[in-house]
Amino acid sequence: MLNIVLFGPPGAGKGTQSERLIEHFGLVHLSTGDIFRANIKGETELGLLAKSYMDQGNLVPDEVTINMLKSEVMKHESPKGFIFDGFPRTTAQAEALDAFLASINSSITKMIGLEVAEDELRERLRKRAEVSGRPDDANPEVIQNRINVYKNETAPVKGFYEAQGKYTAVNGIGSIDEITARLYKAIEE
Ligand code: AMP
């Protein structure tokens, strides 16, 4: 299987680029944020729980997120692979993902990090708020908290895959097409 972790701070373009990658490589897109939002919309128990964290820009607890991710992976019969978008966001999630994939005789192929400077992220999220309808995009304090949570809890996940020789950085500044081309290259090489 081709299993890619698309990594990067909020606003880096993970969702947009994932849509292109799944089409090009025939992969399944697993965005934990999208799955939580679908649960909020469907007013499920998981959605209710996730909402209280998401509205503040905090992470949903690891155990809940990991269990949800595993059950989503298992919904697909003989997939070509997955794009993990927004997961893993903590080292504990990365360890759990490795163990889980090993248990189904698979592994992460690569982590690709979309690198974008912080000022640009804030600007992109501010613009996205006008169209996304996401409450966590609309509030500057929540945006700042998401960036801080990324730096404190999520950024160390890069080191986890670097230690395995699986991390590749991609410049996340440029047109959507330019960045897609860089990602294709990073995945194929
Ligand atoms: P995203 O759509 O990736 O920006 O995620 C939106 C929000 O969903 C995050 O701010 C978190 O509250 C929650 N979330 C998404 N993925 C995870 C994850 N892997 N671990 C914990 N919380 C997550």
For the segment 139-174, what is each residue's pLDDT rounded down to a tens digit? 999 999 999 999 999 999 999 999 999 999 999 999
Catalytic residue positions, numbered:
14, 89, 128, 134, 146
Contacts of 70 (CB under 8 A, 6+ apart): 100
Q: What residue spans of the chain are helical by DSSP H? A: 14-25, 32-41, 45-54, 62-74, 91-103, 118-132, 135-138, 140-149, 156-162, 176-188
Closest residue by Cα to residue 110 from 131, 84, 134: 84
Give the pLDDT confidence score for residue 2 in this predicted structure. 98
Pocket test for ligand 1, best of 6, 48, 59 (most atoms within 8 A of CB): 59
Give the pLDDT confidence score for residue 74 in this predicted structure. 96
Confirm if 112 and 183 have CB atoms less than 8 A apart: yes
Token readout for 139 is 């509030």
Closest residue by Cα to residue 17 from 86, 119, 96: 86
High-pLDDT (> 70) share of the chain, %: 100
What SS3 class is residue 44? coil
Contacts of 102 (CB under 8 A, 6+ apart): none
Confirm if 151 and 66 have CB atoms less than 8 A apart: no
- Consecutive H or E run containing 115: strand 110-115
What is the pLDDT confidence band of residue 121, given thresholds at 50, 70 and 90? very high
Atom of ligand 1 nearest to the CA of 32: 16
Give me the domains of the chain, ranges plus CATH numbers.
2-188 (3.40.50.300)
What is this structure's pTM?
0.96
What is the pLDDT confidence band of residue 189, given thresholds at 50, 70 and 90? confident
The answer, yes or no, to whether any atom of ligand 1 lies below 6 A from the CB of 87, is: yes
Token readout for 64 is 């809940």
Atom of ligand 1 nearest to the CA of 53: 12
**Residue 148 CA, ligand 1 centroid: distance in Å:** 13
Give 84-103 pLDDT, tens digit per residue.
999 999 999 999 999 999 99
The 8-class DSSP code of residue 57 comes to T
Pocket test for ligand 1, best of 36, 64, 97, 143 (most atoms within 8 A of CB): 36
Does 57 have pLDDT greater than 90? yes
Give the pLDDT confidence score for residue 13 in this predicted structure. 96
- What integer is the mean pLDDT of 68-76? 97
Give 33-55 pLDDT, tens digit per residue.
999 999 999 999 999 999 999 99
